[in-house]
Structure 1
């Protein structure tokens, strides 16, 4: 068996929260040995047509954490999401904890800083985040060790976080009948995504794998927990021995048919800032809509 930098016999308590508007699952991950926890991939609600922000999804997390008397140590973004806004700053204000993302966030900021014409005042060094995870870096959630596994391909900064016997896939993998994420955003690469997925599938078969998005393919009930073994055997895009060439061909053809996520414009502007909403020169919260920029 491969050597891993954490004790995979530890079983964290994992609670998922489904956001119907964006089909996102956010997680509270509790250390079984203490009151410490992490939040993974939170959601900030937006009525885009009305230009109105609300906090119902984040407040569900706050309520659950407060009722259980938990202590938040980290608020993790698996990547810069293009389909929902992060509630990380709001959660940090209410609960504490450090906001973290993959160190290649700087590449994402460079690309989309230009798309949104952000100017020199927008820092492209990841300094908006409290922690930047390197590939293989370990960190603590209470008494429990975790590590970050770089999985670029959907975006350069994508990471899967392994916490005890649980892994959090971000958009790298969906449920076995959902396949994998698209790879056609700026900085994405289908071949790189395939290679990243193979890294994830090299984890132990019995490891629990928690998914960031589910769309209920074929009308099935929404689900967000599977295992590495199930993915290796049954994932419709990469399972059962599908080759790198097969995947690149399929992913490229499929991505060409996909529409842009409906919240990609606000999501990228907010999420590359660690969840902070940009402001105009008068200090008012304001979003831009670049034309023909994506």
Structure 2
């Protein structure tokens, strides 16, 4: 499918960096109205204490209210394994629809088994307001947005194109950071390479916004680049064949530890950011599968 973005539309993009998880969340404002989308929000967790807070989300909420914006969409680029989504918390205060890729159902089925969820856990994506297929469009005010399926890191990964800006999730990092891992259940290095090529087929001047940055080699945190810069300088992609990328990605993934927050993140994010249901006493718990990951 050929994706044809409108490069004349230049949304105002405001990034919010969460140092605890190295995640960047975004408020994306339609240039022709007060409508906006929020991409990849973060809910704070002190995992050792089992304590949930909302400082990062409250910062985004304060920005939206200060600017007089109307939230129309809360976009999840994928089911994150390194931070918890704050989408339902923000939705309750600001409105908007929560959207994710249709292959969330694959992720729900996979991790529903790993976390031994009962039949009451729906595996049909019904926790979300919209499931996007490849090439689906939606509106933020007058701005036409396009969802592009970019699997490889997870089966449900989507890149969201809003005017001349694209939000790539974990498909790509900044050029000196390379690409995301592909060794989670449902991940595939070959698929990831193909997805990156889809992103790099967009216009060279397309702005790309990362979901994470770790400041390689001690540089300052950055989260915006372009298709042209990624093509020329990405350390995992530039000058690499598909076979070379797969070999590089697979070797690197063998050296990586599991993300510190993968266990709570998956349980919450496959539920669209909601916590597991309470027990008969009204208490909520997160499970730790032994040798499940």
**TM-score bracket for this pair, using the shorter chain length:** over 0.9
* Structure-2 residue corresponding to 1:187: 186
**What CA deviation, in whole Å up to 9, does each residue of 1:144-194 have, x standing for no partner?**
001001000000000000000000010000000000000000000000000
Q: Name the SS for the 2:79 alignment partner.
A: coil
Which residue of structure 2 aligns with residue 270 of structure 1?
A: 268
The residue number in structure 1 matching 2:246 is 248
Equivalent in the alignment of 1:79 = 78
User: 5+ residue gaps in structure 2?
Assistant: none
Secondary structure in structure 2 of the residue aligned to 1:191:
helix
Quote the offset at 1:280 in angstroms: 3.9
Rounded Cα–Cα distance in structure 2 between residues aligned with 1:197 and 1:284: 42
Query: How far does residue 8 in structure 1 lie from its aligned partner after superposition?
Result: 1.9
- Single out whichever of 271-280 and 66-75 deviates more from structure 2: 271-280
Aligned match of 2:171: 172
Map 1:147-162 → 2, pairs under 5 A: 147-162=146-161
Partner Cα distance (2:4, 2:255) in 1: 40
What's the counterpart of residue 207 of structure 1? 206
> How big is each residue's C-alpha offset from its partner over 1:183-221, in whole Å with a ceiling of 9 and x where there is no partner?
000000000000000000000000100000000000000
How large is the Cα RMSD of the aligned pairs? Answer: 0.9
User: Moved runs in structure 1, 4+ residues, more than 6 A?
Assistant: none
Instruction: Write the distance in 2 (CA, Å) between the matches of 1:245 and 1:3.
Output: 25
Contact 1:5 1:138 in 2 (8 A): no
Please tell me whether the aligned partners of residues 107 and 186 of structure 2 are also in contact (alpha carbons under 8 angstroms).
Answer: yes
Unpaired segments ≥5 residues, structure 1:
none
**SS of equivalent to 1:148:** strand
Q: Counterparts of 1:285 and 1:250 in 2: how far apart (Å)?
A: 41
TM-score (norm 1): 0.98
Q: Deviations over 1:62-104 (max 9, x none)?
A: 0000000000000000000000000000000000000000000
Correspondence for 1:124 = 123
Shift of 1:5: 4.2
Please give the secondary structure, in 1, of the residue aligned with 2:177.
coil
**Map of 2:286 onto structure 1:** 287
Per the TM alignment, residue 292 of structure 1 is displaced from its structure 2 partner at its CA by: 0.3
Distance 2:244 2:3 in 1: 29
Matched residue SS, 2:176: coil
Aligned residues: 292
Aligned twin of 1:107: 106
Q: How many angstroms apart in 1 are the aligned matches of 2:7 and 2:134?
A: 18
Q: Is the 8 A contact 1:134 1:150 kept in 2?
A: yes
Residue matched to 1:36 = 35
CA distance in 2, matches of 1:58, 1:136: 29
Q: Given that residues 12 and 165 in structure 1 are in contact (C-alpha distance below 8 angstroms), is that contact kept between their aligned partners in structure 2?
A: yes
Shift of 1:3: 5.6
User: What displacement does 1:286 show?
Assistant: 1.1
The 1-side partners of 2:122 and 2:46 are apart by 27
Distance in 2 (CA, whole Å) between partners of 1:280 and 1:72 is 29
